A and B are shown apart, each in its own frame.
Chain A
């Protein structure tokens, strides 16, 4: 049996005193950003982690890259366990997993040319010592992302490029080390709508070329179109995961259903919306049991005390799982 490219089991990430440097400032309480997450990703596949704010999707991606320390669980990349991997071994592994950032306007150092930005990973990992070799590799990457002819772009600075072009440069600099895994954190949410499809198509081409892509997004429509599988997250847990088409046509978890019905749909002008009341609870005060139970239309007593695990859904299809006490199995 071949290894999955990425295998995450029982991942937990907590922020707070004595743990990860909290982005929330000095908090005395412990914030469980990711609470037992499982998923796998293979080469040539795109998995989308979908969720609203506080769902833990970004933290999950950061933990995968070991940018934050996992408090529990295992992360296996290309078969090797990432636990306890530090220093030069981690650096070597980092070559094969790259991150694309959300903000194309901030993710490129404004003082450097495109060439220097894209070649930086090569310098950091000292893969090509000759300037010429580096430049060739840079040009290859630029062509790969559609910035052609590459020579024209080498001297440009970020402020001379459009948002879409900048994001392509960002992707090029991720590709230059020939990684196996690409994590795209909201790759198009800061781009104009007319430009988004181009970037997403590019990512899809890369996937077809053999890369595994983990896409973080809040936009279900994007996830559905460009990902093979979708994992819906809420308050640090995956509450539904399955093939994208099924998630969209047959959402089973009440949260997924509410999420889908909240997406604006021009086809249905005055539709029956399931507008959930309330808001996402503060991450420091996650409700007991199933985190969704205070807002859930089908919650029962046990939902407040028992945390549901991912299980095959309605049709007992092992590829489509949901975490609900009342609907699982």
Chain B
């Protein structure tokens, strides 16, 4: 459960007229991801309206196969998989979102302070970051569950605490580089305090980066939630995608060949993570001009026929052999 490695170069200046929407629209995989994600989010949000059966209501035998009435089948407790999916996705998304907010919030704060202040503050904050970087969430959650019990809030908190470190690093690095931009130095030379400089000059430039971090962190948070819930460390009172898979396998879905009880929740998790990753990667590419590699292209410049010249040769559009 490591964070995706995002080699964002420090010099990420926005091209003119850049906007999130435009980047996503221009990139096919990101557009697909965006659409899929939106559909999932909307469905989860409208769970009470869309669910064909009330939650926790038994409507048939355990592990009943998919049929006309219940196209996705039933789980071990006879509940409609569709209903479970909708409500579970809700929980998973909520946890993921909550954890992301915490992660970005802490990460941005630590990153900006460390990057801007430098010196010993930076040193101490980085030691803190390193500490949290190596703390594994499963044992941490186990300990917290053992001492304080499980619950949604604790889950959100734990995932958020594990997740902020990578954002902090990336933001710190970008802040350090922004601090030395001429217009930032100018503001400092004017006598502006760090608050003014950060709010006015640094944060606006960090915003796109934060969005990218947020999107990618969300993907990891969803994965973490699924994993922790699968291990039984999630909230036992709420359905979640990880819990669905866990309960299904514990109740013998594999031996009963009840593939639907495991496959569908798995697909939803995959879809969410994949969509977020595709969007995040497209945004990251847009921010990082060094990833452009037109000079490695196999295409070459075109030669057009000379204007008004005497030689009548057809212009050659050449490509490398």
Q: Does chain A bind chain B?
A: yes
Q: Name A residues whose Cβ lies closer than 8 Å to a Cβ of B.
A: 21, 65, 67, 90-91, 94-95, 99, 101, 103, 106-111, 120-121, 123-125, 159
Smallest beta-carbon distance A75→chain B, Å:
16
**A-B pairs with beta carbons under 8 A, tally:** 44
Residues of B within 8 A of A107 (CB): 182-183, 186
- Chain B residues with CB under 8 Å of A108's CB are 183
Chain A positions within 8 Å of B186 at CB level = 99, 101, 107
Which residues of A are found within 8 Å of B201, using beta-carbon distances? 109
Residue of A with least CB distance to B184:
A109
Judge if B191 is at the interface, Cβ distance under 8 Å: yes
- Identify the interface centre among A21, A108, A120: most chain B CB within 10 Å of its CB: A120
Q: Does B150 contact A (CB under 8 A)?
A: no
With A and B bound together, what is the CA distance between A109 and B14 in angstroms? 12
A104 closest partner in B (C-beta): B182
Minimum CB–CB distance for A150 against chain B, Å: 21
With A111-B204, A111-B205, A159-B16: A65-B189 Cβ-Cβ less than 8 Å: yes
Q: Identify B191's interface contact among A91, A101, A159, CB under 8 A.
A: A91
Dominant SS at the B interface? Answer: helix
The answer to whether A120 and B182 touch (CB under 8 A), given A109-B201, A111-B205, A159-B16, is: no
Minimum CB–CB distance for B205 against chain A, Å: 7
Which B residue sits closest to A116, measured CB to CB? B200
**Contact yes or no, B189 A120, CB < 8 A:** no
Interface of chain A, helix or strand or loop or mixed? loop
Closest 5 CB pairs between A and B?
A106-B182, A91-B191, A109-B183, A94-B191, A124-B192
| Central interface residue in B13, B182, B184, B190, by most chain A CB within 10 Å | B190
Q: Report how many residues on chain B are interfacial, defined by Cβ distance under 8 Å.
A: 20
A121–B184 CA distance with the chains assembled, in angstroms: 13
A138 to chain B, nearest CB (A): 15
Query: Is A125 within 8 A of B191, CB to CB?
Result: yes
Do B183 and A106 touch (CB < 8 A)? yes
Interface presence of B187 (CB below 8 A): yes
Name the residue of chain A whose CB is nearest to the CB of B207.
A111
In the complex, which of the residues A107, A109, A125 has the most CB atoms of chain B within 10 Å of its own CB atom? A109
Min distance, Cβ B115 to any Cβ of chain A, angstroms: 14
- Which residues of chain A are within 8 angstroms of B191 by Cβ–Cβ distance? 90-91, 94-95, 124-125
Closest to B196 in A: A124
Q: Is B300 interfacial (CB 8 A cutoff)?
A: no
Give the docked Cα–Cα distance between A67 and B14 (Å): 29
Residues of A within 8 A of B205 (CB): 111
Task: Output the least CB separation between B82 and chain A (Å).
Answer: 47
Q: Is B127 an interface residue (CB 8 A)?
A: no
- Say yes or no: B183 contacts A67, CB within 8 Å: no
Beyond known contacts A99-B189, A109-B200, A124-B190: 5 more, CB 8 A cutoff: A21-B118, A107-B186, A108-B183, A124-B192, A125-B190
Task: Quote the shortest CB–CB distance from A6 to chain B (angstroms).
Answer: 16
**Cβ–Cβ < 8 Å partners of A125 in chain B:** 190-191
